[in-house]
Amino acid sequence: MRIGDPTRNYFSKVRCRYILLTIVLVIVVALYVTMNLKNYGLYTGNHPFFAAQPCQYLNSKEKGQLLKMAHTVHKILDGFGIEHWLVYGSVFGAVRAHGPLPWDNDVDIGFNGSGTFATMDFNKFLAAFKDNGLKVYYRRWITSNVMKVYKDDQPHIKVDLFAFYNYRGWMKRAGLETWIFALNYNLHDTYPARLVEKPLPMVRFGYFKLPAPREGLTIQQYLYPDDWWKEVKPVTCK
């Protein structure tokens, strides 16, 4: 082949494009992985779309309202026979404060998305909250069966409900977002199903008791792999 051979030129162009494509692909994959490894818990302030969790120390009246709301949600779920348990920050709350953490304005409750909940009419589920004076916010498609329970006249508090599904022994969340950020959800929102198999231990939470995952703080090793052993306040508290 002589220099200037059109075939050779063609092949080097193709190779050039190939290398470029590989570089772009490597960058995209590296970005995706880096993004996924980060902890986006609202307490970290890392979330690109949602504001950091406020550092909100509830007064005793507001704390009473939050406990009452959590108790109502617990009774509604019990009434339907939907297995549920404390999850995320509320597990720390139950262990360290026998109630919500002092700077928390919400209670996190996970429930079994299979079984009773899966077979019941979603509108019937929602109606029970309405009957108890509670509103429910949800985006079913994006974050499947994750709900925010709130009251218009008590905007400072809420109860977050998270459906978890048993995928081959691991409890995971569902929905489009969990697929796109699968790596992240696997690292921060997935835990062994054995931790929430019934019967669950009941732990004190304010003036009543709520079901909690088995084995104490073990679940937190899966939900907060970077800092579960420490007491971490929301960034806004510093």
* Positions in 135-194 near ligand NAG (CB under 6 A): 166, 193
Phi (first) and psi of residue 228, to 5 degrees? -60, -25
CB-wise, 40 or 125, nearer to ligand NAG?
125
| Residue from 53, 72, 105, 112 binding ligand NAG (CB under 6 A) | 112
18 CA to centre of own chain? 40
Among candidate residues 234, 75, 68, 222, the one with its CA nearest the CA of residue 157: 68
| Residue from 17, 57, 115, 120 binding ligand NAG (CB under 6 A) | 115
Distance in Å, CB of 110 to ligand NAG, minimum: 10
* Positions in 32-61 near ligand NAG (CB under 6 A): none
Rg (CA), the chain: 23
Instruction: Count Cβ atoms below 10 Å from residue 18 Cβ, excluding itself.
Output: 10
Residue 5: both structure tokens together = 């051979």
Residue showing the smallest CB distance to ligand NAG in the complex: 115
Rounded distance, CA 212 to CA 86, Å? Answer: 5
Rounded distance, CA 184 to CA 168, Å? Answer: 18
Rounded distance, CA 145 to CA 92, Å? Answer: 23
* Positions in 77-96 near ligand NAG (CB under 6 A): 83
CB-wise, 154 or 166, nearer to ligand NAG?
166
CB-wise, 74 or 151, nearer to ligand NAG?
74
CB-wise, 155 or 169, nearer to ligand NAG?
169
Residue where the block lists tokens 């019967």 = 199
Residue 26: both structure tokens together = 């490597």
Omega of the bond prior to 199 within 30 degrees of 0, cis? Answer: yes
| Residue from 9, 46, 114, 221 binding ligand NAG (CB under 6 A) | 114
Distance in Å, CB of 114 to ligand NAG, minimum: 4
| CA distance between the termini of the chain | 69
Distance in Å, CB of 189 to ligand NAG, minimum: 15
* Positions in 189-218 near ligand NAG (CB under 6 A): 193, 196-197
Distance in Å, CB of 66 to ligand NAG, minimum: 26
Positions touching ligand NAG (CB under 6 A) are 83, 112, 114-115, 166, 193, 196-197
